[in-house]
Structure 1
Amino acid sequence: MHGQNIFLNQPLAIDKNYLLSTIANIISGYQQKNFSSAESILQKAQSKIEMQANSAVTSGADVFPVVLDINGPIIKYSSWYYLGTQDIIAILRRLDRNSSVSGIVLNIDSGGGMVSGTAELTHTIKNLSKPTIAYTGGYMCSAAMDIASGAQFRMANPFADLIGSIGTMLSYQDFSKMFEKWGATIYEIYAPQSTEKNKEFRDLQAGDSKAYEQRLKEMTADFISRMQENLKETLKDDELVMKGKTYTPKQALSVGLINEIGTLDDALAKF
């Protein structure tokens, strides 16, 4: 399933430093014209799973765990270099129906991404019949932390980067002055009946962010509620964890964002 990712001027569940590096990477990809097609991104993910299955069968195993990589910014549709949440959902549902799969490890390294599509993936993970572990050897922040909360168990490598960053933000860019510098004249004319059309955006351009702040408030409330429901009694609220703070693996363990510190092999050994 492929479509258009709206990454700029949209609500994001992402760590700010990670966002800046992601945008730089995307711009570089556009300039160099070296992005992969959605089909090739999906095929690469499927090939990795097939290699794991072939290796297990060769070793004589009847059942085996599968590692599914979730790396880079969380986006809804497979694009640029990254597997989208819609394709991840489809892969997970196929794995859940496969009687040879004993469990699924979500190997996450992401600082977050789009709000759109994230809650659906979290819901899918939570309702899989196979046992699931969310593991990170790098970043598990914001939208990626949301996704990890859907798993039955969460682990981090002792040398992982950061975990947490629960919350949402809007990164807003107005390109009108750049277009005007290039000689463009921009007109916006609205029908008299269309007083609410693009009102949030027009208010923001005028310096009034209240409408967007309310929208972000509602999204973040949903995010926090989902985290509280999914992490349940393991979560120890330090009065910062639900306000966007990031944690080292040891700190994340102490507040209950993860259940254990260990390696990817340790995670696989649980199945």
Structure 2
Amino acid sequence: MSSNKQPPNWQGWDQQRNKITSSKGGWKIGEAVYNHGYSMMDDLIGQISWFQLLVLNTTGRLPNDKVATWLENCFSCLSWPDSRIWCNQVAALAGSTKARPVAAVTAGIQASDALLYGPGVITHCLGFIQQARQDVDQGKSLFDIIQKRQGNTLSLPGYARPIAKGDERVTAMYRLSRELGFDIGPHEALAMEISEYLTQEEGESINFGGYMAAFLADQGFSNPDLSRLMALWVSAGVQACYAEAADNPAGYYLPLQCQDITYTGALPRPLPKKPER
């Protein structure tokens, strides 16, 4: 019986064998460290901000200082020093065990990669507003767009919040957008129009992920761009909660005693004896 299974094609692997190729850059010892065509020490150090470098390293494009400032403030909006927040709690617990900073902070960042908060939301928020923009351009109404999501406003990526109504971060970043001189682009305009509709009909509104995705869609950022850029989104808040817990005696963060736990399971019972042979 013959098999239709094709032999593996190793051509691409063979072409890369024993060498590393990069479109990003590299260090030529004794010459320069190159980054997307720039000499880092000669062209970039002292000339651009860390956030401009972050975008350059991630996307290959060097943004202007206004875009970098806007992004930097996005990070501030997601770096709350509150150890009740999921990812911050992980870092605080690590600090309470006297774990090393790198281990604690990276654990907290890892805990932030969820679908309901943190960097994990951005892919769905950006995909939704980009599709919604296309739908409107093709003549669909806001009602059509919302009903397409099964009529459930909580299934609209970038809208509503699980704990509170409204989002103070949207207000702050919308103000900053105008202060920096950004015009309202087509994605931002539609995002705010949907928000106004939902406020009137459902009492819900745009959240920070939705606003950020819409604004950055107008700046030409793609889904891969944003999911990579936002990987460290919560880092400053995580560090704050780790530092506070690490500065206290070990075990001070959320200590528990046996009587603090209410057991609601089965009552004590004898273990069945093993039958004799």
Output the TM-score relative to the length of structure 1.
0.24
Give the structure with the higher percent helix.
2
Give the structure with the higher percent strand.
1
Bigger Rg, structure 1 or 2? 2
Answer 1 or 2: higher relative contact order, Cα 8 Å, separation at least 6: 2
